[in-house]
Structure 1
Amino acid sequence: MIRLHHVPGSRSTRVLWLIEELGLDCQIVVWSLTDGSLRSPEFLALSPAGRIPALQIDGRAIFESGAIVQYLTEREGRLAPKPGEFARADFLEWVSFAETQANILQALNIQHIFLRPDSARSVPLMKLDTRRLAVTARALEGHLSRQDMLLAGGFSAADCMMGFNIEAVFRFLPKAEFPALAAYRDRMTARPAYRRALDRAGGDSIYQREFYELPDA
């Protein structure tokens, strides 16, 4: 049995999407970001930094979504260039780029959503991270204006890593400024496996607004 430890709306949705693309069965164990359970000994035994996702598979637990994605694609022999192939470096770059972008999104989530009271927020940091996010979005915009998927060979697990981010990107950046990225988001969200994963994922436990404006200083 494959068991995915998951928070609705979190990066574990990437792994669930890939599992659906690969046609694997899995059990979902749902956790909360706010009730302290991710710091419990039970969860820390699976993910020592107390972070989602964690995947129990093949008699062990794997943490970090990038590592899980690489493990699953190598295990199944699909949706990634094989080690030694020319496109493998491109695949690894985009998997890592997706995490770079996700960490900026996490910083914005903390500032816009999780810090209380509002006076605890740092407007200069929010502006800085919004600019950093825009740098990543512009890089993707240029790349995806030339091809439909991250890899020239077509859809891969790197698209599960990155495609999950884009809904969150457009919570902080206006999608009208990134038409190629918006079209990529539409292609990703139209995939049947993505729709199945979303149905199983349990909604979104993070965002309560369509768009988060930067506050005045």
Structure 2
Amino acid sequence: MYRLHFTPDAASLAVRLVLEELGQPYEARLIDRAGGELQSESYRALQPLGLIPVLETPDGPMFETAAILLYLADRHGGIAPAPADPDRAQFLKWLFFIAHNIHPTLLQLFYPDRTAGPDCARQVVDHASTRMQGFLSIFDRMLAEERPTWFSADRPSLMAYYLGLLMRWLAAPGARHSFRFPPSDYPAIHAVLLAHEARPAAIKAAGAESLGPTLFTDPA
């Protein structure tokens, strides 16, 4: 059985969503973030940078969100093209587009001080906002033109759960932030996220972490 180290509404939610979609049994272990567990020796043995998520698997502990999701897809099937599938190359290309462009740019928006210090935070946010707009527009246009089966409203997709989590944060970042990227601005993405947040796996995961029913498209 898997063991997911999590905090509510963190990157671990993407892993929980996929585990629920796959119907895999797992233990969800709440991290004592306020108590400093992320800096503890025991947690750093699982995740050397002290970040979330960690999934303990039969093959050892896994970290990095995209790596965990791809591992689960390859191990259990059904939520991504298999390694021999002709669609695999396109799927991998866009999965890593999200992991290496959208996800880190989101972190720059939320934590600009980490990128260039507090004196340059405004410039970091402005630059990251422009980049984020470009990345989301590129992905949305690709969906509208290519209509890939591995990111559609008709079947569950690990990539939709991953991007859905990121869009959740971008849609309602909080009063202290000046940026907002509602999924409704990106029609092709929005249609897929609407379908995925209505799936039983998403409803169950949202309930487990006390999140609202419109998990991706209109977060509370």
- Superposition TM-score tier, normalisation by shorter sequence: 0.7 to 0.9
- Give how far 1:176 is off: 5.0
Give the superposition deviation at 1:102: 1.4
Quote the offset at 1:184 in angstroms: 2.8
User: What does 1:168-187 correspond to in 2, within 5 Å?
Assistant: 168-171=169-172, 172-187=180-195
Q: Percent identity?
A: 26
Deviation at 1:183, TM superposition (A): 2.7
Amino acid in structure 2 at the alignment position of 1:45: A
8 A Cα contact 2:160 2:193, kept in partner: no
- 1:193 and 1:103 mapped to 2: Cα distance? 26
Contact 1:81 1:87 in 2 (8 A): yes
* Residues 1:52 and 2:60 aligned together: no
Offset, 1:166: 1.5
Counterpart code for 1:103: P
Partners in 2 of 1:74 and 1:127 — Cα distance?
38
Matched, 1:7 2:7: yes
What is the one-letter code of the residue matched to 1:164? L
Instruction: Report how far residue 174 of structure 1 moved.
Output: 4.5
Q: Retained in 2: the 8 A contact 1:5–1:30?
A: yes
TM-score by length of 2: 0.80
CA distance in 2, matches of 1:94, 1:56: 26
Q: Call closer, same or farther: CA 1:148–1:163 in 2, change over 3 Å.
A: farther
Which residue number in structure 2 is paired with residue 214 of structure 1?
none
Q: Show structure 1 runs of 5+ residues with no match.
A: 205-209, 212-217
Q: 1:120: how far off? A: 5.5
**Inter-partner Cα distance in structure 2 for 1:176 and 1:77:** 30
| Secondary structure in 1 matching 2:86 | coil
- Structure 1 length-normalised TM: 0.80
1:176 to 1:22, Cα distance in 2 relative to 1, 3 A: closer
Go from structure 1 to structure 2 and tell me whether the alpha carbon gap of 1:97 and 1:35 turns closer, same or farther (over 3 Å shift).
farther
Counting only pairs closer than 5 Å after superposition, residues 32-181 of structure 1 correspond to structure 2 as 35-58=35-58, 60-99=60-99, 100-111=101-112, 122-146=121-145, 147=147, 150-151=150-151, 154-171=155-172, 172-181=180-189
**Structure 1 residue 8, shift from structure 2 partner:** 1.2
Alpha-carbon distance, 1:203 to partner: 4.1
Q: Which amino acid aligns with 2:206?
A: L
Instruction: Classify the secondary structure of the residue corresponding to 1:55.
Output: strand
